[in-house]
Each structure stands twice: as structure tokens, then as C-alpha cells.
Structure 1
């Protein structure tokens, strides 16, 4: 058995999440892939993939072996780069999952520049706020906001998202402006909840260097960042929103910043990818481009920025 070839087949099946799709991309009969995996499992003495008519899933041993295969194959590719013509040039397909609002407002308006810089690289972009399984869904990397939870992935911080507590003048004319965090319990908030868990997100504040979390009551609840801002603009309540989303509204007076002495806590913006993948040129150039892109946004750059 060609172990390296078997590893390549196994990784491709996992990335495609399908024997059939993997066979098509490799230009091999599906039966050849099935035989390769059977031989590989027999050689290793364990089951790597659980296969049903509708689903393909990694076993715990399969997940561990997949992570090691990726590292080995990336190391081989890196070792060969200096000996091949055009080596190290980004090519192929890069699959990226982006948060809906950040993807559409920050990344997508500039994606043409990236595509022009790397003409041999095809991009598949998905926009979601759900928890994606990069390995099972064949995604190369995902941009995420907040503290990282999945230790099986590598997180590379590429930015820092800053937030603002704000409301429309119409709301403040009717209800007045809160003067402290405690005053918020007497106001109406736009409740932003997780579409994945259904739980409302906490409102975070930095008070005298300490993180304070609270909830604000409200009659309107949304699971989308753009909807959150839209409701605030209509005077339906106070909200906490990403500053990059509302900077223009604040400058035009359509929203008013509140509680300046206790600003919301910033959140890290990270690029997540499976271990060993950053050696791939296509992922490396995207990570570098994305970091530069966010560096040009005062409300998303890594360096501390003014909240004004």
C-alpha cells in the first residue's frame, strides 16, 4: 500500500465529505477510494470513517489520524516547494466561512482586489453565524468573533472588534438617556440572541478595568447584527452594536453613543483553521490579506483605536 497516497485519498474524502465528490476531484473511480480506505483501516487496525447512506463522519480515531495526515502532507508539500516550478504559488480552491455581517460589510466589498492579486486561486465564500465543522464540511478557514472554544483548531487573531452602546434620538426623546449601567434595567433594549443556541448575548461593559455583564429587557429580539442596528435606528430601543456597523450613523446623528465612561469590551477577531494548514500558500496569502484589510478599519484593527 502506498501510505502517502492513502493519506491523500483519506484527507480528500474528509474534505469533500463524500466518497463520490472526492473521486470526481481525484479523477478516480469511487470503488478505488473505497478499497483504499478499507485497506488503510485494515492496516491501522481501526475504523476511520462511519459511513451510512446519508452521512459520512469521522470516528475519534479518524479525527486524530486526519489531523496527523494533514500535518504530514503539508510538511511534504512544503519540502517540495523549492524544487518545483511555480512552487509556493497559491492555486486551487480556498473555502472560507465568514460571519454574515463582517463578511458582507468588511470582506466582500474588497474581495475583487484579492481575486485580482491571485488569479489562479478560486474562492468559495459562505456567510453564516452558525458553528461550522471545518473538517466535515471541507472548509479551509473560518473568521470568527469572540473567544475561541474549539481546541482542535488553530486560531490566529487578525483583528479586534470594538462595540458601542447607542440609541436613536427618537428613543432618547421619549425615554431619556441612561447615566449608568444600572439605569439600563429601566430601559428597552434590542435583544440580540444566538441563532444557534437561542440564548441572548450578554451586554458587556468595562467599568474601572473590570468586566461587567448584564442583560437589558426588551420587546424586540433578533438573531442578526444588521437587524439589530435596523431596529435601533427605528427607535425601538438601546443596543450594543459593532462600531464599524454604526460609525456612519453616529457621525450623521442617526444614533447617539451612550455610557462613554463604561464602554463595551472589545472582542478578538480570529481566523480559524485545522492544525498544519497555514503551510498551504492559498491559506497563508488569504490570512495576510485579511489582516491587512482589517488593519485599515479603525474599529477592527489589532492595535488599540480611539472609540470616537
Structure 2
């Protein structure tokens, strides 16, 4: 039995709750993963997981073993990193999940710099706007916005993003420019961004001093992916709100027009998030430092 591989397989199963997901994340056949865990249980003389037709759960003995196994694997990776001087040149596969506009407009264009610094890190990007199960899907970290609700996750604040209310010139020519948020609700088409998970439409928010307005009325079109949402605005489908870093190039070349510039929305915090029960690897640490530097450039407070 390859005990180290068996321990890795057990940890993945315990975190994913599935032999199939663990096998996929390890790039091994499911039968191999099952045999590894069986051999590990036989070696230890105790059952680590309970298997049913619907789910895989960890036994009390398995939970205690998992806690120490996670620490062991983290320390082992640090040992390897130190011995191979990998703190200077980290290596290995790093899976990162990130929203579409952040990936296409910020992260991917800057990746040649990251590759130049860390050529031995193999970066795999999941690009989408849906929430991700870090543990179940074997993702090392995600870059996402909003408040952190899950206490089992660790977040590093990267920046704050501002919002811009805008529309295409073709829309403005046909419908005019609203002078107040209430006019949008009364007689304008709204091009909304909506949740990729639930389909829920995110309302438009406006604030000026103590005055606040929320517009959650019907949308002429709702889009659940950030890059496509901007495309819909450029097509003249309605008024919408998007991040400032996304809108500014189009505002500068005239393809979008800013609306109600005196009204703002609360900034959107952007974070790098990873599971609290995973020891940050050398490659995750250097990636975290690099993206903090990168996204700091689009922080609306930076000027």
C-alpha cells in the first residue's frame, strides 16, 4: 500500500463526501481510490468512512484521523518546498475559480507576469459566476466578491470595486437620460444582472447623502454572467449597473454613457478565499501575494 497516497485519498473523500469527486480531483480511477481507503482502514484496524448508496460520511475515528492527516500533508508539502527551495520557485498544480469579467479583463491579461515569476506553477482556471464548493470540487481558492458567510473559509481582502450606472448611446437616444433613480423605475428598461445559481435578480442601488433608492422592478433582460451582462448593455438593451473597472474603457471610447453620476452604490469587497482546514501551500501563498498586488491596481480607492 502507498500509505501517503492512501492518506491523500482519504482526506479528499472526507472533504468531498464522495469517492467519485475524490477520484476526479486526484486523477485516479474510482476503484483505485476505494482500494486505497480499504487498505488504509485495514492497516489501521478501524473504519474511517461509512459508505451508503447515497452518501459517504466520516466515522468519529475518521474525523480525528482526518484532522491530523491534513496537518501532516501540509507539513510534508512545506518540507518538500524547503528542501527544493520552492519558496523561491513554487511548483505544482493550482486550481483557481474566478468570475468572468475579473478573469477576462484583469487576471488572464496579467498571467504572463505570474508565469515569468513562477514558471513551475501549473494554473488551472475555472471561469464562471456561479458559487463554487471549494472542498467538494477540489478547488484551491476562489476570487469572489461580497461578504464571507461560511466560517470554514479563510478570506484575504484584495480590493474594493465601485459600481457605475450606465447605458449605451443608442438606448439614450431612444429613451433619454433619467434625472433621478425614481425615473428609471417609472419608465425605463433595466438590463439586470442575476444570480447564476438561483436566477434571482440583483436590484439597482442608489445612494446620495442620506437618500437611498432600490429598484427591483421588472427587467427587460436578465443576464447571469458578468461579461455577457456588459455585452447586453453595449447592445442598448437598457440601463444597468456594472463594476467601474469593466465600464471605464467603454465610457472612455463612448460606447457607454454614465448615468446619474452623483448617485453611488456601496463598494463591493473582493476576496481570495480558501478552506480553513487546508494548510496554505507555497504555490497558494505566492499566488495570493501576486493577486493582492494585481487587484490592488483596480481598487476604486487607489485613484
- TM-score of the superposed pair, with normalisation by structure 1: 0.81
Give the C-alpha shift of residue 236 in structure 1. Answer: 1.8
Distance 1:69 1:202, change over 3 A: farther
Distance 1:174 1:38, change over 3 A: farther
- Structure 1 CA distance for aligned equivalents of residues 274 and 219 of structure 2: 37
Distance 1:77 1:226, change over 3 A: closer
Q: What's the counterpart of residue 162 of structure 1?
A: 162
Give the C-alpha shift of residue 23 in structure 1. Answer: 7.9
Give the C-alpha shift of residue 188 in structure 1. Answer: 1.0
Q: Does the Cα contact within 8 Å between 1:23 and 1:29 map onto a contact in 2? A: no
TM alignment of 1:228-267, pairs within 5 A: 228-267=229-268
RMSD: 3.3
Per-residue deviation, residues 228-287 of structure 1 (Å, max 9, x unmatched): 222222222111011111211111222111112211221111111011546311000101
Give the C-alpha shift of residue 296 in structure 1. Answer: 2.4
Give the C-alpha shift of residue 170 in structure 1. Answer: 2.3
Q: What's the counterpart of residue 196 of structure 1?
A: 197
Q: What's the counterpart of residue 185 of structure 2?
A: 185
Q: Please give the secondary structure, in 2, of the residue aligned with 1:134.
A: coil
Q: Please give the secondary structure, in 2, of the residue aligned with 1:126.
A: strand
When the two structures are aligned, how many residues end up with a matched partner? 294
Q: Does the Cα contact within 8 Å between 2:192 and 2:203 map onto a contact in 1? A: no
Q: Please give the secondary structure, in 2, of the residue aligned with 1:269.
A: strand
Q: What's the counterpart of residue 143 of structure 2?
A: 143
- Structure 1 CA distance for aligned equivalents of residues 286 and 292 of structure 2: 10
Q: What's the counterpart of residue 120 of structure 1?
A: 120
- 1:86 corresponds to 2:90: no
Q: Does the Cα contact within 8 Å between 1:92 and 1:120 map onto a contact in 2? A: yes
Per-residue deviation, residues 46-75 of structure 1 (Å, max 9, x unmatched): x546465xx875559678875664345324
Q: Does the Cα contact within 8 Å between 2:9 and 2:22 map onto a contact in 1? A: no
Q: Does the Cα contact within 8 Å between 1:9 and 1:36 map onto a contact in 2? A: no
Give the C-alpha shift of residue 305 in structure 1. Answer: 4.0
- Structure 2 CA distance for aligned equivalents of residues 248 and 207 of structure 1: 25
- Structure 2 CA distance for aligned equivalents of residues 211 and 154 of structure 1: 32
Q: What's the counterpart of residue 301 of structure 2?
A: 304
Q: What's the counterpart of residue 102 of structure 2?
A: 102
Give the C-alpha shift of residue 214 in structure 1. Answer: 2.7
Unaligned stretches of 5+ in structure 1?
none
- 1:33 corresponds to 2:37: yes
Distance 1:194 1:293, change over 3 A: same
- Structure 2 CA distance for aligned equivalents of residues 292 and 238 of structure 1: 32
Q: Does the Cα contact within 8 Å between 2:101 and 2:226 map onto a contact in 1? A: yes
- 1:271 corresponds to 2:275: no
Q: What's the counterpart of residue 287 of structure 2?
A: 286
